Amino acid sequence: YLDKFFEGKASACQCLRSNYGIRNEENEVSENQSNNYRLFAVDLLGFGRSPKPRDKLYTLRDHFEMIEKSVISQFDLKSFHLVAHSMGCIIALALAAKHPNIVRSITLVAPPCFPDSRDGAASLAVLKRVAEKRLWPLPTFGTAIMSWYEHLGRCLCFFICRHHRTWENILKLLTQRRELHFLIMDLTKHTHQSAWYSMHNVICGAAGHIDGYLETLVKSGVKVCVIHGDRDQTAPVECSHYIKTKVPDADINIISKAGHKTVIFRRTKEFTRSLERVWASSAARL
């Protein structure tokens, strides 16, 4: 109804489009984004534009190909270190697996790398873990709404994301600050993008490929380091233990009393020093 009122045309959700089959490849949509799980693929951030079907969603391949184009190729990198947090760990693993001979080290912070499900429905299994259907705590409830219920999440994002400048101005007025924390800015701008395009197609869509990425890194001798908080509710610490089973030589550093974000934000100096140690220890590679 909101679409029809503001856009002049009501957009159909992805469950009504039959051309999205159930596929689970790194360059395709995840099985959760098929017509069973209703991906909404229309840009919410622009008024006055009629919704148009998208032939390709923002996939894992889109992510690392953009990194290749804008960084690796542009600067003609012959070797580099990778550092990634949360969902970025999946992108970093895919990138490292494609360029194992020029990656000196990869540091994964709070990686959402869950074991594959036995029945082969890896994407769905991961979605159930990262977006558990719970009413409490409130952040978990919000994640479930955004990840499972397209139309409810769409209405929420209509008010939050589409009018993000309004909310930012209100928060600046209330807090008497000229600049807001970047996490608040990202929340008001990119909640919908993160929940639908990136989270589904990267974390869930790549679920069946994690083992292959790790095997490639082991064969190539890439140094793998993991930093994880023991109070991480988004990507539980068992994800790092799982990586250790696949990469026996991986350095696993479990941080006491740290969560998904505080593993970095409340210990920036310690985090920086740990990166320096990793880079120094892998200096002899290549």
Confidence at residue 285, expressed as pLDDT on a 0 to 100 scale: 52
Judge whether 100 and 222 are in contact, CB under 8 Å.
yes
- Quote the CA–CA distance of 207 and 24 in Å, as a whole number: 9
Strand-strand pairing, 80-85 and 103-109: parallel
Other C-beta atoms lying within 10 Å of the C-beta of residue 138: 9
* Backbone φ and ψ of 148, nearest 5°: -115, -35
Judge whether 15 and 34 are in contact, CB under 8 Å.
no
Confidence at residue 88, expressed as pLDDT on a 0 to 100 scale: 92
- Output the tens digit of pLDDT for each of the chain's 286 residues: 666 676 666 555 544 443 333 344 444 444 444 433 333 323 323 333 333 434 355 688 888 899 999 999 999 999 999 999 998 999 999 999 999 999 999 999 999 998 865 555 778 888 888 888 888 888 788 878 877 876 777 677 767 777 778 888 888 888 888 888 777 776 666 555 555 667 778 888 888 899 999 999 999 999 999 999 999 988 999 999 999 999 999 999 999 999 999 999 889 999 999 999 999 988 755 5
SS3 5: helix
Whole-prediction pTM = 0.74
Confidence at residue 195, expressed as pLDDT on a 0 to 100 scale: 58
- Quote the CA–CA distance of 11 and 51 in Å, as a whole number: 6
Confidence at residue 29, expressed as pLDDT on a 0 to 100 scale: 45
Confidence at residue 4, expressed as pLDDT on a 0 to 100 scale: 67
Confidence at residue 12, expressed as pLDDT on a 0 to 100 scale: 54
Write b or e for each residue in 87-100: b if 16 or more Cβ atoms lie within 10 A of its Cβ, otherwise e.
Answer: bbbbbbbbbbbbbb
CATH number of 9-284: 3.40.50.1820
- Quote the CA–CA distance of 129 and 13 in Å, as a whole number: 24
